[in-house]
Structure 1
Amino acid sequence: MHSKRGFQLIMLAPVFLLLIGLTVFPFVYTVTNSFTDYYYLASDSRQFVGLSNYIAILKDEQFRQAVWNTIKFMLLAVSIETVLGLGLALLVVNVKKGLKWLRVSLLIPSLLPPVTVALIWQMMLSNHNGIINHLLSFVGLGPFNFLMDIHTAFNTILYIDIWQWTPFTFLLLYAALQAVSRSQYEAAKVDGANGWKVFWHVTLPNIWPSLLLVVLLRTIDSFRLFDKVNILTGGGPANSTTTITQYIYKHGVYNLQIGYGAAASMIMVLLVLVFSIFYILRSIGGRRNEMHR
């Protein structure tokens, strides 16, 4: 028995070491550095500064703007992507012919790497030779500098994110819809329920856990928005598209202020935890309500 337990521990040891190396150690290292004035080019003079980094960050107007941009982007992107994904899933679930090709075509945007998506849209939105401005010129509009105009840059990145990740929400919700028992729909129709009542009392309760999972995953991912912003706008114009990750990159990587960047990272982690815990509690509450019913 002891030899068997020992063998299991030996087999699991590489996994534990990998887990510690990729998660526990970086987290502890970041937390430790967040309380220091660690500057990469002067690593010999690392001093403990307590909460000074956190206080400086919270007082920084640019950081507050980055937090607002990130939260606004998250709320809009997650809401729109979830609604559109659910709408597409409800439409496609009843399609009989050409379903395979339809699903593949819908999923193409989410299969592309974010960097590739950003570069494609950068070329398409170019105000000199981009295809979108060429098309607008045919109807007497443009050219528009979508990515460098303070009035359009944020909404442009939001649209690109919706274009890329709505297929992801569609896929998860489509799978959830397929798992709903047909007998429930038949019973609802026998009772005389119309389409809205069927959706509200049959479809939505059955896919609610999947819906909350989609919202949670997209919320976490939206907070990590960096690739598109860094490539398309660099956080501009006038910080209108600066996100928390862009702020962390600027100070922690570009300016080599490791301690300051680590503190900003920890604040971001806390924000993600707040939203994640909120959605998890909502999910648990929804399941308890279903059990009481």
Structure 2
Amino acid sequence: MNDKTLRLNHSTISARRFGLCMVLPTLIVLLVMTAYPLISTFLYSFTDYNYLKGNDSAEFVLFDNYVSLFKNSYFRQATWNTVLFTALAVVLEMAFGLLIAVFVNSLKRGQKAMRTLLLLPYLLPAVTVALSWRMLLSSNYGIVNQVLESLKLPVFNWFMDTRTAFGTILFIDVWQNTPFVFLLLYAALQSVPAGQYEAAGIDGAGFFQKFWYITIPNIKSSLALCALLRTIDTFRLFEKVNVLTGGGPAGTTSTITQFLYNFGIKSLDFGFGSAGGIIMTIFALILSSFYIKRAIQ
């Protein structure tokens, strides 16, 4: 082995060490902030650990917490509500976000102004959005019911009526998060080659043909990524439900996170709550795997 080869090997080793030193702090933070809590939650899920009693009195109960969870009718309803809400919210947000992105991208003027206005709902904190809509939809002084009443239309107690509570929460969530989908897809549309549209136009392709055969194939990776991010975020819905309905009426808006808050955090039964958290994580991974598989393909 000559001197030149030795110098190259030394340079390669030095570069790898430098790269490792640069990545190591981030890896440590990730391990502390994600791996450790996840492992702790997994271990606690097999115990009857209660914060008031402390670690010393905690005993292993194996799968008792998981059995209790699946026997709990409130948890089963919360799981169904969460899955249904996630499916509906993601589909609606993706559909509206894509339509708005295509519309704004087609504008000859005013794109910057439209982008700014459309992003405003997403920039607001979830609690602020929930409180604002609670005032607008109040059964006592809400402007929505006042308008409906003036038009001789039926009014509702939007958050406490079993017929409207779930749909109202869904509407508010879609209203706030559609701009996020719009932003990602609008950015993806900027990378679609204009020449493809021009060539399709010469061949006589209409708007819908261009949309289906040019727009969708070019942004399918962005669509999958967007759906994945929205699925993960929607699956842990909590703030709006907690502020507006508390899981009611009759559990029609209860979610897994709301269940964990009521029966895990508030009661300080961290063993039971940890089991719910692990199940929630598994459900989120299963739902997300469909998008990840589609993105890889």
Q: State TM-score, norm by structure 1.
A: 0.93
Task: Classify the secondary structure of the residue corresponding to 1:171.
Answer: helix
Question: 1:268 maps to which residue?
Answer: 280
Q: RMSD in angstroms over aligned alpha carbons?
A: 1.6
1:197-276 equivalence runs, <5 A? 197-276=209-288
Whole-angstrom distance in 1 between the partners of 2:63 and 2:144: 48
Shift in Å, 1:7: 6.2
Task: Classify the secondary structure of the residue corresponding to 1:45.
Answer: coil
Whole-angstrom distance in 1 between the partners of 2:286 and 2:94: 20
In structure 2, give the amino acid aligned to 1:234: G
Q: 1:40 to 1:75 in 2, by over 3 A?
A: same
In structure 1, give the amino acid aligned to 2:227: V
Question: 2:130 maps to which residue?
Answer: 118
1, 8, 15: which one aligns with 2:26: 15
Q: Structure 1: any 5+ residue segments left out of the alignment? A: 286-293
The share of aligned pairs that are identical, in percent, is 52
Shift in Å, 1:140: 2.1
Task: Classify the secondary structure of the residue corresponding to 1:148.
Answer: coil
Alpha-carbon displacement from aligned partner over 1:97-145 (angstroms, at most 9, x marks no partner): 2221111111100111111101111111111111111222211235421
Please tell me whether residue 76 in structure 1 is matched to residue 88 in structure 2: yes
Which one has a bigger Cα radius of gyration?
2
Q: State TM-score, norm by structure 2.
A: 0.92
Whole-angstrom distance in 2 between the partners of 1:136 and 1:159: 18
Shift in Å, 1:81: 0.8
Q: Structure 2: any 5+ residue segments left out of the alignment? A: 1-9
In structure 2, give the amino acid aligned to 1:35: F
Whole-angstrom distance in 2 between the partners of 1:190 and 1:140: 53
Please tell me whether residue 183 in structure 1 is matched to residue 195 in structure 2: yes
Task: Classify the secondary structure of the residue corresponding to 2:53.
Answer: helix
Whole-angstrom distance in 2 between the partners of 1:3 and 1:10: 10
1:93-132 equivalence runs, <5 A? 93-132=105-144
Q: 1:82 to 1:28 in 2, by over 3 A?
A: same
Whole-angstrom distance in 2 between the partners of 1:147 and 1:249: 20
Alpha-carbon displacement from aligned partner over 1:51-87 (angstroms, at most 9, x marks no partner): 1111111111111101110011011110011111111
4+ aligned runs moved over 4 Å, structure 1: 1-13
